[in-house]
Amino acid sequence: MKSLNNIEKIEVIGGKTTITYVDGTKYSTKDDITLTANYRNENDHPIIDHCI
């Protein structure tokens, strides 16, 4: 998911949540979600994808 600052619209219809961002990207889920402003993931680091 992208930053909450970039959200244009949030719809919940029939248990399905759809988030539309200002650039037109859409994220949809039937799972429970939590939206948190100013969240910072301290464990977020690049994934190194290679085989040794």
Question: What pLDDT digit, counting tens, does each position of 9-45 carry?
Answer: 999 999 999 999 999 999 999 999 888 877 776 776 6
Determine phi and psi for 6, rounding to 5 degrees: -100, 10
Tokens of 40: 């910072």
pLDDT given at position 49? 64
Is the pLDDT score of 52 beyond 60? no
pLDDT given at position 29? 95
- Rounded Cα–Cα distance for residues 24 and 42 (Å): 28
Is the pLDDT score of 3 beyond 80? no
pLDDT given at position 10? 93
CB of 31 within 8 A of CB of 19? no
Domain boundaries, the chain: 1-32
pLDDT given at position 48? 64
